[in-house]
Amino acid sequence: MDYRPLGRTGISVSQLCLGAMMFGAFGNPDHDESIRIIHKALDAGINFIDTADGYSAGESELIVSKALAGGRRESVVLAVKFGIPFGEGPNHSGASRRWITEAVEGSLRRLQTDWIDLYQVGVPDPTTDIDETLSALSDLVHAGKIRSFGASKVPASEIVEAQWTAERRGHERFRTEQPPYSLLTRAIEYDVLPTCLRHGMGVLTYSPLAGGWLSGKYRMGWEVSGPGSAARAQRSGVYDSTNPANAAKLDAADALGALADEAGMTLPAVTSAIIGPRTMEHLDTYLAADGIDLPSDLLDRIDQIVPPGVTINVADNNWNFGTPALSAAFRRR
């Protein structure tokens, strides 16, 4: 397993990050099996785990805590997201100082740890001043409860605004960005990746399988049945083959699948990504991608199917302030 610098934090992380979204009720409800998957990933050299308080209402954090017991925590870089609604009440979500202060204590308690290496705003919050968010997160760094912090699904213009605000106000700054990125979702190549590079930010990409579209299940002439996990099954519209945008994704996924078959590979050959296995078999497939370097001619053929900087279905960029409902509410303010 190769290790890379996490932006300019001085922390080194494995090029594959173990995403814990599928551990718990929304994915694999078997705690013992989930723990075995985590242990196998760690034994394979992965030292980076990403979870969130909203994954199965905190159950994912509890499973990760069990897996890291017995001295494993010290060798793991632990990333945690917050921001989606957690519990009852209008103030149990977002990126306000009030919720950040409460949410971090809950995550620390469930994870049974004294610190979080990377604490991330999982959903952009347009109702909270960025100065308020940066101030609260900076205080957590100074208190030693988190080592650094980042964000997720933020467009390049807002990344720049946050960096400017941190410098102007004397706050700690966002050290990472976590966007969706796959062979079907390449919009971040246009401006997000160059912006992060200029500001020395690490990039944790998620959904390398494009929500399952690149798993090999979706090929021309096959029935589009949707994902196996309960969490993704709730988003049935994402897999509606009558949607023109999904039809275009199916065309691209089929072409990429044929290219992978020709090259003797399974999709995807992606590195530096958050992987989200639900089963041990899924993990084995992801680990098989470690160390693969694609030749230039193969990369050129991929670019012919999905050009650089292009996302087949723009909704997959997830830059609509978290959810469609929140986006609509924001537009109507």
Q: Using one digit for the tens of pLDDT, what is the confidence trace for 152-173?
A: 999 999 999 999 999 999 999 9
Domain for residue 144, yes or no? Answer: yes
Asked if residues 193 and 169 have their Cβ atoms less than 8 Å apart, the reply is: no
Domain for residue 279, yes or no? Answer: no
Domain for residue 39, yes or no? Answer: yes
Per-residue pLDDT of 115-166, as tens digits, reads 999 999 999 999 999 999 999 999 999 999 999 999 999 999 999 999 999 9
Domain for residue 286, yes or no? Answer: no
Task: List 18's β-bridge partners, or say none.
Answer: 49, 275
CATH code for position 132: 3.20.20.100
Domain for residue 133, yes or no? Answer: yes
Residue 71 lies in domain: 3-211
Domain for residue 294, yes or no? Answer: no
Name the token pair of 72: 């494993």
- Each residue's pLDDT, cut to its tens digit, for the chain (333 residues) gives 889 999 999 999 999 999 999 999 988 899 999 999 999 999 999 999 999 999 999 999 999 999 999 999 999 999 999 999 998 889 999 999 999 999 999 999 999 999 999 999 999 999 999 999 999 999 999 999 999 999 999 999 999 999 999 999 999 999 999 999 887 888 888 899 999 999 999 999 998 876 666 665 655 555 555 555 555 555 545 656 566 666 666 666 677 666 667 666 554 423 347 887 888 888 887 777 666 666 778 778 778 777 777 777 777 776 543 344 444 544 444
Q: Just list the catalytic residues.
A: 55
Whether a cis peptide bond, with omega within 30° of 0, leads into 268 is: yes
Nearest in space to 211 (alpha carbons), one of 64, 318, 327, 78: 318
Q: How many folded domains does the chain comprise? A: 1
Task: List 178's β-bridge partners, or say none.
Answer: 152
Domain for residue 100, yes or no? Answer: yes
Domain for residue 274, yes or no? Answer: no
